[in-house]
Structure 1
Amino acid sequence: MSDAFAQAFKDEARELLADLEEALLEMEDNPADLGLVGKVFRTMHTIKGSGAMFGFEDIASFTHNVETVYDLVRNGELSVSKELVNLSLAARDRILAMLEASESGLPADAGRNDEVIKGFRALVPAAKEAAKSGAPDAPEPEAAAPAQVVTYRIRFKPEPGIFASGVNPLSLLRELQDLGPCHVVANTCDMQPLDALDPELCYLFWDVILSTSAGRDAIDDVFIFVVDSCELSITVIDDGSSDEAGGGYKKLGEILMERGDLTQQQMDELLGKQKKFGELALEAGLVNAATITSALMEQQRVKEIRQERQVQSQGQEAASSIRVSADKLDLLVNLVGELVTVQARLSLVAQELKRHGELVSVAEEVERLTNDLRDNALDIRMLPIGATFSKFKRLVRDLSAELGKEIELTTEGAETELDKTVIEKLNDPLVHIIRNSIDHGVETPEERLAKGKSRSGNIHLAAVHSGDSVLITIRDDGAGLNVDAIRAKALERKIIPQGAELSDREIWQLIFAPGFSTASKVTSVSGRGVGMDVVKQAIEGLRGSIDVKSEPGRGTCITLKIPLTLAIIESLLVQIGKDRFVMPLAMVDECILLTEKEIEQGHGRDLLLVREKLVPYVPLRKMFRIEGKAPAIQQVVICQLEGKRVGLVVDWVIGEHQTVIKSLGRMYQQVEGMSGATILGDGSVALILDIPAIFNAAEGKP
């Protein structure tokens, strides 16, 4: 079997397992929803069938046991229970473990697999016993309205070399037959003479007319692992909205044209003759007998369906898509970044040679096209954050049960999009924050009832766009942060000096200090002082910021401000002496002038009065030890950092700039205050300032 096809199965299976986990958690909250039960069953069925097809026999055998139990649930012989959901989640984890074992070469834990299977088998006798006695374990859910039967035309044309990947097309056709009445016609028009046949190639393709109430998703699931190695067309030909009988369906010629088997010109030529259309097309050699048989079968089948019933729903075709590896997307964005740099160079040259009007015009057109290409390339890498949010439902469910708490996770803004690289790097920080909210924030049911709260706590995850950034909030309705306890622990660990006067906001920020923890004992969840400092480092590594707000007895809200993408950012270009630097524009509030008189009024302290409020600033010329005399009037770039306004003093502010981020070499990665570099239009290099690191260094923080 080809490694490429095996990898395709693994990738698709992981996506199915993510959807399965989400469906199981929803099913736990809505046990009477037969639609969710059907979704779980179909997912298991797809993994089982495709696993067997691609040689993953251990996964197919394991999943078969789970599928058997869910077949009983679908038929009303077994009810959805917490035990069933727990076993199903464990089964999902075991399937994922088997996938990972196939990559690492290490065997999966067969004993754990057997335990899960034994648990499922224990449910089957109980279901059979209940069926014999006629006394169900739980009230049966209300019968759902019968699903609408929709008729589809399916053309399945596999690539000639599909056998080499271990796929048997007949097994796919058998799965279609399980969905409902199915009429199949094999098309042999590509068949070769016997002496030219290659037994390892597939020369057939199939036309199928399928009537099913399972929906389009169930059909897509059948072909999910071969969609990239075949031509597949799925069209609704009768959605039940017409009760027209007899000759109400399309004529034979119309069907052949719609399928692409005949052109309009060919049909017009045939219509001028007197014989039946099918006979004329066959005699003219335009189509073969199998094609005519297939079209006639479709025509007859739809007529029969419309004679049988009158229905009211309509199916829809899913939008077409293509799977592209992340590496290819990364390469595309890198090339676009190089193009942006070259375009800036071209614009600069065009401005210097203004007398050549045509060159300026070409440069402007290239700039417009480059901007469009940049926006589209970055948009391709954008993914909704909802997939990450859904992972945390399982985390909250399992951890709250371990700690004896009742906590519900709610989400908002799941459709908010972020660069895939940013989403991947956000996972660990969000896990740390949510675990802390569960362990330290939300109280036990007894404590909540004693405080007059509801028995069950809540953690709310929300995401919303804010300019070129995304704001992610994690809010709980727990006890809130204990300012006195945080201060005492900070004094004990000598994080702050004795007698330090700090605002509540400054005390809240202490939870991000390395080694800080208020837990009285070390547990499997917390207490080692590792976590929130890692969160802050990770967020600042994404050029983001983190803010904390808390109210005693009401809960805590942590807000992360994250840039949309890490590849190309809007920035502010500044100059100090002959050197130029770049600041992320998302952190910049405003720019103001700084005169020598205002510096003298500070009496040696780096403070500036801005609209009746003191703003501390850092003279970058002094920090970077840049030689030369500063201009008489410098400029201060005011930035937002951890809820405070702080300034960076530069010689000149040049203006906004499209910055293509380049990582620093290994020798320069530890340089304090720099997070990367970019190439300017004139070919020179400008360093990207790490604003949080600069202020930490100025304050003497590690």
Structure 2
Amino acid sequence: MSIADQGRQAYLVEAAELLDELEKGLLDLEQTPDDQDLINRIFRAMHTIKGSGSMFGFDEIADFTHEVETVMDQVREGVVALNMELVDILFKSRDLISDMLYDRGQDRPARTKEIIENLKKNVGSNTTAQDSEYNALDEDSDDDNQAGELNTYRVKFKPDKNIFFTGAKPLALLDELFDMGICELKSDVPKDSPLCRIIARTDAIPDISEMNPEMCYTWWDIILTTTEDENAIRDIFMFVEDDCELIVEKLTRSGEIDTEEAHDKLGEILIRRGALTPDDVDEVLRLQKKIGSMLVQSGKVSAQEVASALAEQEIVQKAESRKKATAEVASIRVDSGKLDNLVDLVGELVIAQARLNQIVTEIHSSSLQSLAEEMERLSDSLRDSTLGIRMMPIGATFSKFTRLVRDLSKDLNKEIRLVTKGADTELDKTVIERLNDPLVHLLRNSIDHGIEDPDIRKAAGKNKQGTITLSAAHAGGEVVIEIADDGKGLDSQVIRQKAVERGLIAADSDISDREVQQLIFEPGFSTASKVTGVSGRGVGMDVVKRGIEALRGHIFLESEKDKGTRVSIKLPLTLAIIDGLQIKVGDDNLVIPLSVVEECVELKSDGQAKESKSVINLRGEIVPYVRLGDWFNITSHELNIEQIVIVNVKNQRVGLVVDKVVGQHQTVIKSLGHVYQNVRGLSGATVRGDGSMALILDVPTLVEDVVAEQ
């Protein structure tokens, strides 16, 4: 990938994050339309997308965003009043920019024209009394920052010599910075306007015989007086921050540089110009007496008082230095493919570690045993660290659904509020990426089927505004995600009738309402009376269930008529490596995920014929058990004492009878081939230390089948 392509890729990533921030800002703005900070944040996001888009050749984005940014500027200045119609247009603008970014949709020109026309109509009929003042301001000055408090900043922008190869245009960045203030060289600048002085530093330009015309040798010092804050200045350089040296220092407020600040910085300026050396400055400064000594000599304060003040100053300086060091901890972007490759390598290391442990048990060498234990400790730490890198908070996914609920509830003329909990719950990035579609489908079901129309809710004594709660929490080695609504719930009679019509159950079948409700997971099952843009096409919960099961997860549904519905999803933290309990059945090795194992107990043979299914009394509780040998048709060894592994899935205990419990091992999960992917009770395979294969049990499915046959 060329440097220019890397620059464009960086823009794609950053612009996507800005669009997410823009969407969240617009959603918040609907709730608090008078929040000036939100309006400024939205404006800055638009401004950054536009400026950097132009710099990296995304002219379509730059041209369109300029139109939207102009309107947001007028909103920011109070010239245009914010209304819901304008917010809707801004949402559509955000979506169009996203499509432009990824080159999606053939109707973009038509959508662009429509949005710009709607913006102009809205602005034309929605100006405030400040309109004439705004126009007068435009005639007098190019500045749009006069309303706020002025601050003066010193900016050092020193691009890397190779910056042109990234596609970046330093002068375009300076133009963006220039627009924040007004260059004092302009003859029509009002005296109290923000100022911007840009000084080109050319001392690094080589002789023409040594010059490479494709290199950037110039850098710039900028003194900027503006109403914008430091973050807005840094946003301009967001996409080139890794390809330049950027220093932004705040001087003073109101454009007035105080004497001490000017004195301190004067020496630095002279040093940079080569007029002085640092030693020259230190020599002159040493001639000055310290203020503490002068105060003591004058009798104004005692020596002890000065010593106390100096101690306080030292502590504050250390605290500030520590705070600054913490703030400077940087993060880097890593391609997800590289991260996946790292996890694969760690998986191979875990397998190699298991082989080493196998050899140690055969050789009986104390020194080798010690080395193996040390290697195991290091591989465990490396595994945890690597998987920790892949863990991401699910809140980023949750935040996207706020827009979905907003748009869909508006289309269906419903009033719905989305409440999210546990946004900081971490989950493997691969799981999060593949979880998006199932969650979207569940939310759409809650909005369309669950939450009633406002009038119906009011007649039923409910709040007109329905609530959908989306939550996430850790539960042992799993994550539980729940989607709950306070809607009308599932009507078991309607589901039963539909199931009979489709031949899923007999008309006289005697099954509970809970079992009837689970029928909605059957392929093609739908209770929608008509086909809409949301539902009724028979592509429903069965797709959701398959998607969850593909993640080695499980989905459960609970519903009460007129009260609401709750869908729970249990997912593993990661799809790569787990802690497993290795067992033997006959000559075959199997692995049970340790997260579902409660304990191991013994089962003594009574000499009678062994049944494949039975129950045991476990400290007063009757627990069903199943012999895995009989269940999977594996020839087990005849043993007087068998081992039972007690597993727990959703508070349902089941015993799995095995020949031998080998012990706990890190398990690297390998997917089964297409032929074996749908085998009930198996979720994958792993490679043991001796190179042989062990199958990983899908315990929740196994428990479900065992309980169903009891």
| Residue 226 of structure 1: aligned partner | 240
| 2:75 corresponds to 1:73 | yes
* Aligned residue in 2 for 1:651: 659
Aligned residue number for residue 24 of structure 2: 22
SS in 2 for 1:2: helix
Q: Superposed, which structure 2 residues align to 1:492-531 within 5 Å?
A: 492-531=501-540
**Counterpart residue number, 1:489:** 498
Residue 403 of structure 1 corresponds to 412
SS state at 1:646 partner: strand
1:5-404 alignment, distance < 5 Å? 5-101=7-103, 107-128=106-127, 131=130, 152-180=153-181, 181-210=195-224, 212-228=226-242, 230-238=243-251, 245-247=258-260, 251=264, 267=278, 271=282, 319-357=329-367, 359-404=368-413
Measure the CA separation in 2 of the matches of 1:434 and 1:16: 25
Residues of 2 paired with 1:569 and 1:177: CA distance? 55
Do structure 1's residue 424 and structure 2's residue 426 form an aligned pair?
Answer: no
CA distance in 2, matches of 1:8, 1:24: 24
C-alpha deviation, 1:275, in angstroms: 12
Residue number in structure 2 paired with 1:542: 551
SS of 2:162 mapped into structure 1:
helix
Deviation at 1:317, TM superposition (A): 5.9
Gaps of 5+ in 1: 136-144, 278-313
Asked if the contact 1:50–1:225 (Cα under 8 Å) also holds between the matched residues in 2, the reply is yes
- Equivalent residues of 2:591, 2:694 under 8 A apart: yes
Comparing 108-117 with 85-94, greater Cα deviation is found at: 108-117
Kindly provide the amino acid, as one letter, of the partner of residue 677 in structure 1: A
Per the TM alignment, residue 423 of structure 1 is displaced from its structure 2 partner at its CA by 0.4
Residue 564 of structure 1, CA deviation: 1.4
Q: Secondary structure, in 3 states, of the residue corresponding to 1:196?
A: coil
TM-aligned CA distance change 1:125 to 1:442, over 3 Å: same
User: What does the per-residue CA deviation read over 1:296-342, in whole Å, with 9 as the maximum and x for residues that have no partner?
Assistant: xxxxxxxxxxxxxxxxxx9x967522211111111111111111222
Give the whole-Å Cα distance in 1 for the aligned partners of 2:157 and 2:426.
34
Compute the displacement of 1:433 (Å).
0.8
Pairwise CA distance, 1:397: 1.1
User: Aligned partners of 1:347 and 1:256: how far apart in 2?
Assistant: 64
In the alignment, which residue of structure 2 is the partner of 1:660? 668
* CA pair 480-92 structure 1, distance change in 2 beyond 3 A: same
Q: Distance in 1 between matches of 2:269 and 2:348?
A: 49
Match in the other structure for 1:140:
none
Change (3 A) 1:360 1:113: same
> Aligned-pair distance for 1:469?
1.8
Supply the distance in 2 between the matched residues of 1:612 and 1:436 (Cα, whole angstroms): 42
For residue 67 of structure 1, report the CA deviation from its aligned partner. Answer: 0.8
Q: 2:159 and 2:133 mapped to 1: Cα distance?
A: 48
One-letter amino acid matched to 1:175? E
Q: How many angstroms apart in 2 are the aligned matches of 1:146 and 1:133?
A: 15
Q: Could you give the per-residue CA deviations for residues 30-76 of structure 1, whole angstroms, max 9, x where no partner exists? A: 10011111111111111111111111211111111111111110010
- Paired residues of 2:160 and 2:245 also in contact (CA < 8 A): no
Give distance in 2, aligned partners of 1:697 and 1:126. 65
Is the deviation greater in 437-446 or in 108-117? 108-117
In the alignment, the residues of structure 1 paired with residue 225 and residue 329 of structure 2 have an alpha-carbon distance, to the nearest angstrom, of 21
Change in CA separation of 1:655 and 1:209 when aligned onto 2, cut-off 3 Å: farther
Identify if the C-alpha distance between structure 1 residues 269 and 369 changes in structure 2 by more than 3 Å, giving closer, same or farther.
farther
SS in 2 for 1:178: helix
- Answer whether contact 1:598 1:608 (CA < 8 A) is retained: no
**1:366 CA displacement:** 2.1
Tell me the equivalent position of 2:137: none
Give the whole-Å Cα distance in 1 for the aligned partners of 2:571 and 2:154. 46
Q: Aligned partner of 1:521: which letter?
A: K
State whether structure 2 residue 629 is matched by structure 1 residue 621. Answer: yes
Q: Which moved more, 1:188-197 or 1:20-29?
A: 188-197
The alignment covers a number of residue pairs equal to 647
Deviations 1:404-452 (A, max 9, x none): 2110111122122211101011101101111111111111101110111
> How far does residue 27 in structure 1 lie from its aligned partner after superposition?
0.7
Aligned residue among 655, 668, 693 for 1:685: 693
TM-superposition CA deviations, 1:371-414 (whole Å, max 9, x none):
22212211111221111111111111111122221101111221
CA distance in 2, matches of 1:257, 1:427: 58
* Amino acid in the other structure paired with 2:15: A
Q: Is the 8 A contact 1:675 1:690 kept in 2?
A: yes
CA gap 1:626/1:32 in 2 versus in 1, 3 angstroms: same
Query: Cα distance, 1:635 vs. partner?
Result: 2.7
d(CA) in 2 for partners of 1:697 and 1:130?
71
Tell whether the 8 Å contact from 2:81 to 2:127 is kept in structure 1 after alignment.
no
Preserved contact between residue 79 and residue 131 of structure 2 (Cα < 8 Å)? no
Question: Does the CA-based 8 Å contact 1:97-1:108 persist in structure 2?
Answer: no
| Corresponding residue for residue 307 of structure 2 | none
RMSD of Structure 2 on Structure 1 (CA): 3.6
After TM superposition, list the pairs within 5 Å mapping 1:455-604 onto structure 2. 455-597=464-606
| Counterpart amino acid of residue 488 in structure 1 | Q
Shift of 1:653: 2.1
CA contact (8 A) 1:253 1:267 kept: no
Secondary structure at the residue paired with 1:418? Answer: strand
- Could you tell me the TM-score, scaled by structure 2's length? 0.82
Moved more, 527-536 or 636-645: 636-645
Alignment of 1:433-448 (within 5 A): 433-448=442-457
What is the letter of the counterpart of residue 205 of structure 2?
M
Any conservation in 1 of the 2:78–2:130 contact (CA below 8 Å)?
A: no
Could you tell me which residue of structure 2 aligns to residue 281 of structure 1? none
TM-score, length-normalised on structure 1?
Answer: 0.83
Higher mean C-alpha deviation, range 28-37 or range 409-418 = 409-418
Note the C-alpha offset of 1:570. 1.8
How many Å separate the matches in 1 of 2:433 and 2:535?
A: 23
Q: Contact conserved, 2:585 with 2:636, CA < 8 A, in 1?
A: no
Deviations, residues 243-302 of structure 1 (Å, cap 9, x unaligned): 99422577359858999x99xxx845874589999xxxxxxxxxxxxxxxxxxxxxxxxx
The question of whether the paired residues in 1 share the 8 Å contact of 2:444 and 2:534 is answered with yes
Deviation, 1:478, is 0.9
| Cα distance between partner residues in 1 of 2:270 and 2:556 | 62
* C-alpha distance 31-13 of structure 1, shift in aligned 2 (>3 A): same
Amino acid in the other structure paired with 1:124: V
What residue is the counterpart of 1:287 in the other structure? none
Q: 1:274 to 1:526 in 2, by over 3 A?
A: closer
Q: Does the 8 Å CA contact 2:554/2:570 hold for their aligned counterparts?
A: yes
* Partners of 2:685 and 2:693 within 8 A in 1: yes
Distance of 2:39 and 2:584 partners within structure 1: 62
| DSSP 3-state at the match of 1:160 | coil
1:216/1:317 contact within 8 Å kept: no
Task: Give, as a single letter, the amino acid of the residue that structure 1 aligns with 2:595.
Answer: A
Change (3 A) 1:475 1:616: same
